[in-house]
Every structure is written in structure tokens, then in C-alpha cells.
Amino acid sequence: MKKTVYITGADRGLGLALTKVFLQSGFIVFAGRYMKDWPELDELKTENGGKLHLITLDVTSQKSVDKAAAYIEEQAGHLDILINNAGILQDRSGDLFGEFHYEDMRMLMEVNTFGPLRVSQSVIPLLVKGNNKILANISSEAGSLADSWRQKEYGYCMSKTALNMQLTIMQNQLKEFGVKVLAFHPGYVKSYIFGEFNEDASIDAIESAAGIAGQILRAPSLDEHMFIDYQGNKMNW
């Protein structure tokens, strides 16, 4: 049975790097793409042929999510690894003494929290049939209650804290099916999460992706701490 992985938000940045790493590791990759005008996935497709499936995916749309899941089932019949990577950070809101843009915060929750929930539910039957049975999610240290230090960025931080709670509930249910749920802090990655490429970040996307893939492929036990960074260090809830 061919090894399969489904990666959301694969257009660029960390998602694209994860796609490259898993292709190099011999996986059939189902890459969720949102930005049709971004060329790098098409270039990868040319290089990798049938090993890379490009799937139009909007994680805020149930119809889009369900269509993607149906395609994976048709093509592979199972799924070994899911990586919920799609996420945004844009928010015009400031601190308590400034202006809040609740529409921005709602979109952060829609993409960063409800998006992974939609995608995970859509492919759970396929993950249960897989070998690795890993449900991985790109979270953030911003979601940690114990290590909270910010005085703004309410929307983003709350979206990641809610995601972390979501994942603990998932693990409670999926443990009996042998599915391991993981929440990754990817590090401060050079990516487009702010909209423009962030040169000030400290970690190249490919370094973070390689670390995340390594942690996934070492097959962590069901009882291991779920919230870790890309190097495997334990993160505080």
C-alpha cells in the first residue's frame, strides 16, 4: 500500500516545504491549494508527476473540503498522514486601547480553528484505514496558556488556543482507533503568513518542515505529549 499524506495550505511557505519533504520521502502527496495563481506547486507537479496530486481547497468551505476528501478516497482509498497546515495571521486589530476588527478575528477562527476541524472530520475514515495514522496540525506557541506573553494579537492567539483544545478532544476519541494527534509549533518560520514574505523570521521553511516530518515519521506513541515544536521539544499547554 502506497504511503499517502494530505497537506493543506500547500501553495507556499511551510506547506510547500512539507510537500517537498514528503515527496522526497517517497509519499504520494495530496496538496491542498488555495492560490491558483501561485506557480510553485505546478512546477513540483511537473517534476513529480503522479506522486503529487493538486487539490483545490478552501478550508472555510464544507463543499470544498468534502470534495477534496472524496478525491483522496477515490485515488488512494486510505490516508496515512494528515497535516492541517493552512492558516492565516492577518488582523488589523490592536490592543485594548486601540480598535478591534472583529471580522478579522472571526476569519482567523474560521481558518485556523474550524478549518482543521472540517478537514479532519472529512478524512477520519481514511486515516483509520491508514498505516501511520497521524493527524498533525500546525499550531503555535501563541496558543499556549501557560506561556502567554503577548499584549495584543487576540484573534490569532485565541484561534490557536481553541485549536489546541480541539486536538485534545480529538485525541480522547481517536486513541481507541490508533490515531495519534499532534500539535506543532513550527518555530518562527520565514513564510507568507503575514501576507508578505517575512524575512525577519529565524527559521527557513524547509528546516521546519524537515523537523516536523521527522517527528511524524518516528511514529510517536499514543501516550506521548501532543504539543511539541518542530524539533520534538515539549510545549506547554
Stretch 90-94: mean pLDDT: 94
Q: Is the pLDDT of residue 197 over 80?
A: no
Instruction: Give me the domain span that covers residue 202.
Output: 4-229
Q: pTM to 2 decimals?
A: 0.96
Does residue 234 fall inside a structural domain?
A: no
Do 171 and 181 meet the contact criterion of CB atoms below 8 Å apart?
Answer: yes
Tens-digit pLDDT profile for residues 180-194:
999 999 998 867 666
Tens-digit pLDDT profile for residues 38-87:
899 999 999 998 999 999 999 999 999 999 999 999 999 999 999 999 99
Does residue 128 fall inside a structural domain?
A: yes
CATH number at residue 148: 3.40.50.720
Q: Extract long-range pairs of 90-93: CB within 8 Å, 24+ residues apart.
A: 90/194, 90/195, 91/153, 91/154, 91/155, 91/156, 93/152, 93/154, 93/155
With bands split at pLDDT 50, 70 and 90, how would you rate the model's confidence at 37?
confident
Does residue 236 fall inside a structural domain?
A: no
> How many domains would you assign to the chain?
1
Does residue 235 fall inside a structural domain?
A: no
Catalytic residues: 156
